[in-house]
Structure 1
Amino acid sequence: MRPSILRRLLRRVASTAVLGVVAATLSTVGAAQPAAAAGGLQQVTGFGTNPGNLQMYEYAPVDLPAGAPLVIALHGCTQTANDYYTNSGWPKYADLWKFAVVFPQTTSANNALSCFGWFDPAEDTRGKGEAASIVQMVEHAKQQYGSDGRRVYVTGLSAGGGMTADLLAAYPDVFAGGSVASGLPAQCATSQAAASGCQTGPQKLTPAQWGAKVRAGLPGYTGPWPRVAIWQGTSDYTVYPANATALRDQWTDVWGIGQTPSSTDTLPGNTTRSVYNDASGKPAVETYSISGMGHGLAVSPGSGTDRCGSTAAYFLNSICSSYYTGVFWGLDQGAPGGGENPLPAPSGLTVTGVTGTGASLSWSAVTGASSYAVYRNGTEVGRATSTAFTDTGLSAGTAYRYTVAAVDGSGAVGTVSAAVTATTTGGTGGGACYTATNYAQVAAGRAHTTGGYVYANGSEQNMGLYNVFVTHTLRESPAGYFVIADTGCTA
């Protein structure tokens, strides 16, 4: 028996304890299916020698022009190309912004849970296995559609995110940008046995050590490097948030820039965006931290330009990550790495009044705005055609965070404003309080860990080291949003 065939057979019977990302968590979703073409999704055969034994599916708008960009989208464990096509939102932007999308698919023939082999050097390094098959799909699609080879991008969820990072390291000459959603830093693990350790906490490496793993993917390569977006939920206990920190360290080091963000802003869905600019002032790396979100790809169903996807297993209603990733890459016709929304943030957001069940807001007008989207605790609650809005149906004695964004005539949502807090009257005035050790707060689901430290869910306040020797009181208001309240708050 050929060694490659024997190796694949061994991988099929490997213990699920050391399979790829989300092996234990995603096993409830069900086995991957053959992915019958749905709608505009079409299977392509004969795209190359296919050393990784993958299947190729693709979608392109009927009026796709020559010289358009190309996006590669990688599913997570137990998922299919059709799952990603149906739920991720990428086809919407392919139609809107005119580019083609390739959806590679792995199956249980490669891995018992249909995970891409991000932890296997025989699959995720240059010229090998699945990575080589994906690049063959790129070349086939470029020939088929006349795609611009300078604008090829790759994105993936979970195990697909881990493979995305590996592809960016192995083929920086192929991919102009990448987006890693709930994934792993490049070459975090080089065996199945090491994969689980990466999920719960990657190696404690310096940025230079993480960056060296990328540079080893194509020795002697000097750039340009891919622009990388990193998406992570703070309540992801399958692929821990420490991986997002390692990814940031890895790619900022590769770009030769520091780990202090050039700017930070707030987006819908309780999302904090941190931007790390290159030497020319363009965003090279962006991180998107989604407070309270678990393991999955962030979507936001709706008809607006910045709304996309559908909720399903591991497609979580929060913010349309595909939209913001596409803007970051410049797929919306902007400059690559632009990362800016079409309208500026409204200024002067003010709470003008509160009752026991409502809060009134006002803000300054934005030139070019046809309406304004209002967000309560990161979730859109309404649209206003004027510069005032009253939110109703609230709980008494509860604090709510509000932001607002201008919307232009095409439905594109601009930059989100700075937040204000409105506290309704009545009630007990402040929400429930919980006093416990940092360890117990995490165990109770009121906080989470990153890099050995504990952070309050929602507010992201640093509570100190993850142990039983540090105690804090947390106040919950609104539900699921915790702040440190060590004085004046009785548990």
Structure 2
Amino acid sequence: MSNVSFNWIRRVAMPALTISIALMLPSLPVSAGQTDSYTLPQQSYNQSRAREYKVYVPDNIQSPAPMVMALHGCKQTNNDVLNDWGLKAAADRYGFILVAPYITSYDGLRNQNCWGFWFEQHRHQGAGEVEDLHQIALAVESNYAIDSQRRYITGLSSGGAMAVIAAVAHNEYWAAAAPAAGIPYGEDAASVSLSGQCPGSATFHSLARVVSDMDAELDDAYPIPLMVLQNKNDCTVIKASADLIRDAHLKAFGDPAFDTPAEAEAESVTCSPYYQNNYGCIRTRYTQNGTSGSRSLVETVYFDGPLATPNSQDTDHGHYWVGGEQGSNGKWALRVGPSYPDIIWSFFSAHSRDGSAPEGFPIITLIGDNPMSVALNTSFTDPGATAEDAEDGSVSVTADCSSVNASAVGTYSCVYTATDSDTNVTTAERQVDVKDPNAPTETCEQVTASPSAHISAGRAYAGGSYNLRTYANGDDVDIGGSFDSWSSVLLYEGDPGQWFASEPAACSGNGGGDPFVCQDWNASNLSHNMASRAYYAGGYYSTGGDDYLGAFPGGYAWVKETSEGVFEKGQCQ
């Protein structure tokens, strides 16, 4: 099940104008806007370099529009930001222009594509990478109509660290910032855990030194609002980093009587929206006077997320961006969890630089799951929804669930409507699935592909020594080498998303029973041996068929499974 705020949304300015903002979920929406590519030439100031960047502009955007700059992390590019983070769908939904810079090239010893937050030359106004990002933003403003009170910046990991630096070095420019797995201002490379172990370990400057470094850089009194997003189980950027960002920001910008978390905390709520699992996420607001009615100075979004991710290129250290239902399981990106795009935008939209509220439509947030599953012949209770309008604040919501029939299996909907004082109307829809709990849940789908292709499609994962083996994600059976892109392996789907090397029992009787399907592998003798397709007896022989494959472990041979557990030399016909 999923929990997202928007399944189907229509916003209208009564009585005639209708604007479609998002498509029907749970299928992922296709972005309706346009992506333009640019290069900022190398500038004359110290340590500048040519930087590529892309700008995504939704259709039917208001003018001037808010701008959100999003910075990729190490070993990522701006294409990962655009494709995996769910931000293009959020731009469509909320009406902001999305800017995705790419580091393009860099100096010093660092991992691939890291922003150089720990280099002195890249974290001060007027030079290096932080100034290049500022110049990119100015270039965007020269090409697009940008609201000068609503310029925002976010990023992941080293990109999150650069978002913190931008919030300090150019707090005269940005309205608010939201680092995810970020690093405090002025830190060294030792602030990142590079041991490859979990839990991670890192060292940080003292709180007094971080605040002193910030004070030395700040040239504007504007108390820039900051949202800090952190997986408490992150082993690469550990939670202590997020705590220090929060504490230093409170010291640097807060009232002396309210400059600690205990003094400045105004309220804590459960994070919303989320996709499938909230992971115990708590969103906490800290204000300059510790009261809930005040503007946020810092907000934290802390959750107990998993270590492992579906993407085989990740380090499985709990270090990633959470894109929500419109995101993808890309490199260091996860769909399941508190939806960063929606949560970050709810923070940004409430914190323009001058405190003004933009004209716009109410934002409806559904309470509970969407889609929502209801057991057949049980009572249905609508969890309800809330709505916020930038101009009016809380707005009442009316719900129509009259179509839901819990006595018949099917897909139904609840429609929610909110209207603001300017007669702008937003509608949202919750999908309600009435299911028979006694009906089989297995899909019984079958897919034949190489072990490598199964990993890429999420049907299997890499594991074993040095991640050289492939395991079906449903029953953890070894199906070959993770590097094997030429063999053919049949997997069966049980419950949606769970794939098995053997046909699930619930599927075996379908259609009177499927005949055995031959599979074949072209792999080393050692790989065949490790996968139980062969055994060693002074040489390598196929299991069951006893065909001689060769004497050397590094020799390659085709092996086919002709019946359950019986392997012979050769290929399937």
TM-score clears 0.5 = yes
Would the aligned equivalents of 2:153 and 2:176 in 1 still touch at CA under 8 Å? yes
1:73 — aligned with what? 70
Q: Secondary structure at the match of 2:147?
A: coil
* Distance (whole Å) between structure 2 residues aligned to residue 344 and residue 88 of structure 1: 20
> What is the aligned length?
335
1:140-289 to 2 correspondences below 5 Å: 140-189=139-188, 192=189, 196=193, 200-203=201-204, 205-206=206-207, 208-218=208-218, 221-256=219-254, 257=258, 258-260=260-262, 261-267=265-271, 268=274, 269-270=278-279, 271-279=281-289, 281-289=294-302
Letter in 1 for 2:206: L
Change (3 A) 1:182 1:132: same
Q: Does the aligned pair in 1 maintain the 2:250–2:298 contact within 8 Å? A: yes
C-alpha distance 186-98 of structure 1, shift in aligned 2 (>3 A): same
| Shift in Å, 1:233 | 0.6
Per-residue Cα deviation, 1:185-243 (whole angstroms, up to 9, x for no partner): 11122xx466558983342623x54332222213xx34212111111111111111111
- Deviation of 1:96 (Å): 2.5
Instruction: String of CA shifts for 1:134-190, please: whole Å, max 9, x gaps.
Output: 11101111111131222211100001001111111111001110011011111122x
Are the counterparts in 2 of residues 116 and 130 from structure 1 also a CA contact under 8 Å?
A: yes
User: Structure 1 pair 323/333, CA: closer, same or farther in 2 (3 Å)?
Assistant: farther
Using the TM superposition, give the Cα deviation of residue 300 of structure 1 relative to its aligned residue in structure 2, in angstroms: 1.1
Q: Tell whether the 8 Å contact from 1:119 to 1:195 is kept in structure 2 after alignment.
A: no
AA matched with 2:248: Q
Structure 1 counterpart SS, 2:268: strand
Distance change >3 Å, CA 177–CA 239, structure 1 → 2: same
Change (3 A) 1:313 1:228: same
> What secondary structure, in the 3-state scheme, does the structure 1 residue paired with 2:338 have?
coil
Equivalent residues in 2 for 1:220-369, closer than 5 Å? 221-256=219-254, 257=258, 258-260=260-262, 261-267=265-271, 268=274, 269-270=278-279, 271-279=281-289, 281-293=294-306, 294-301=318-325, 308-317=326-335, 318-330=337-349, 368-369=397-398
How far 1:46 sits from its partner (Å)? Answer: 4.5
How far apart are the structure 2 equivalents of 1:371 and 1:313? 40
- 8 Å CA contact 2:73, 2:155 repeated in 1: yes
Q: 1:407 to 1:227 in 2, by over 3 A?
A: farther
Please list the CA deviations of residues 95-116 of structure 1 after superposition, one character each: whole Å capped at 9, or x if unmatched: 2322222111114554551100
Distance in 1, Cα, partners of 2:201 & 2:355: 33
Does 2:92 correspond to 1:92? Answer: no
Does the 8 Å contact 1:73/1:101 carry over to 2? yes
In structure 2, what is the Cα distance between the partners aligned to 1:88 and 1:344?
20
Inter-partner Cα distance in structure 1 for 2:328 and 2:229: 18
Question: What do residues 463-483 of structure 1 show as CA deviations (whole Å, max 9, x unaligned)?
Answer: xxxxxxxxxxxxxxxxxxxxx
In 1, distance between residues paired with 2:124 and 2:382?
A: 52
Q: Distance in 1 between matches of 2:403 and 2:288?
A: 38
Distance 1:236 1:193, change over 3 A: closer
Give the secondary-structure state (helix, strand or coil) at the position aligned to 1:164: helix
Aligned to 1:441: none
Say whether 1:123 aligns with 2:125: no
- Does the 8 Å contact 1:235/1:292 carry over to 2? yes
Report the CA distance between 1:359 and its aligned residue. 11
The 3-state SS of whatever aligns with 2:34 is: coil
Which of 24, 38, 43 pairs up with 1:44? 38
* Alpha-carbon shift at residue 337 of structure 1 (Å): 10
Structure 1 counterpart of 2:266, one-letter code: S
What do residues 238-282 of structure 1 show as CA deviations (whole Å, max 9, x unaligned)? 111111111110112222133122100112412111111234711
CA–CA distance in structure 2, aligned partners of residues 337 and 246 of structure 1: 30
TM-score, L = length of structure 2: 0.51
Shift of 1:370: 3.0
Secondary structure class of the residue paired with 1:183: coil
Give the secondary-structure state (helix, strand or coil) at the position aligned to 1:71.
strand
- Residue ranges of structure 2 left out of the alignment (5+ in a row): 1-31, 307-317, 369-374, 386-395, 408-413, 419-425, 431-573
Query: In structure 2, what is the Cα distance between the partners aligned to 1:210 and 1:406?
Result: 49
User: Matches of 1:320 and 1:59 in 2, distance apart?
Assistant: 20
1:373-412 → structure 2 map (5 Å cutoff): 410=426
Q: Provide closer, same or farther for how the CA distance between residues 183 and 359 of structure 1 changes in structure 2, counting only shifts above 3 A.
A: farther
- Check whether the contact 2:190–2:202 (CA below 8 A) recurs between aligned residues: no
- Structure 2: how far apart are the matches of 1:334 and 1:368? 29
SS of the equivalent of 1:214 reads helix
Question: Contact conserved, 2:193 with 2:237, CA < 8 A, in 1?
Answer: no
Q: Give me the whole-angstrom Cα distance separating, in 1, the residues matched to 2:295 and 2:427.
A: 25
* Alignment check: 8 A CA contact 1:202 1:246 kept: no
CA change 1:385–1:74 in 2 (3 A) is farther
Which of the two has greater strand per residue? 2
Give the direction of change, closer, same or farther, for the CA distance of 1:328–1:187 in structure 2 (3 Å limit): same
Query: Which deviations, in whole Å up to 9, do the C-alpha atoms of 1:43-65 show, x marking residues without a partner?
Result: 21345627432222221124444
What TM-score, normalized by structure 1, do the two folds share?
0.59
Contact 1:177 1:227 in 2 (8 A): yes
Does residue 370 (structure 1) correspond to residue 371 (structure 2)? The answer is no
* 8 Å CA contact retained: 1:161, 1:184: yes
- State the secondary structure of the residue aligned to 1:148: strand
Q: RMSD value over aligned CA atoms?
A: 4.2
1:176–1:225 contact (8 Å) kept in structure 2: no
**Cα 1:39/1:62, change in 2 over 3 Å:** closer
* Cα 1:335–1:203 shift into 2, 3 Å: same
Q: Secondary structure at the match of 1:230?
A: strand
Partner Cα distance (1:235, 1:195) in 2:
14
Cα deviation, 1:401-426, whole Å, max 9, x if unaligned, reads: xxxx9965756699xxxxxxxxxxxx
Q: In 2 relative to 1, CA 57–264 (structure 1 residues): closer, same or farther, beyond 3 Å?
A: same
Corresponding residue SS for 1:188? coil
Partner of residue 464, structure 1: none
Opposite residue 273 of structure 1, the aligned amino acid is R
For 1:423-442, what aligned pairs fall within 5 Å after superposition?
none
Residue type of the partner of 1:277?
T
* Paired letter, 1:314: W
Q: State the 1:68 CA deviation.
A: 1.5
What is the alpha-carbon distance in structure 1 between the residues aligned to residue 243 and residue 403 of structure 2?
40
Tell me the SS of whatever aligns to 2:305: coil
Distance 1:276 1:333, change over 3 A: closer
Distance of 2:169 and 2:113 partners within structure 1: 22
Quickly say closer, same or farther: Cα 1:316–1:369, change in 2 above 3 A: farther
Alpha-carbon distance in 1 for matches of 2:78, 2:384 = 43
What SS class does the counterpart of residue 253 from structure 1 fall into? helix
- Residues 91 and 253 of structure 1, relative CA distance in 2, 3 Å threshold: same
Q: Secondary structure at the match of 1:185?
A: coil
Structure 1 residue 371: Cα displacement: 7.3
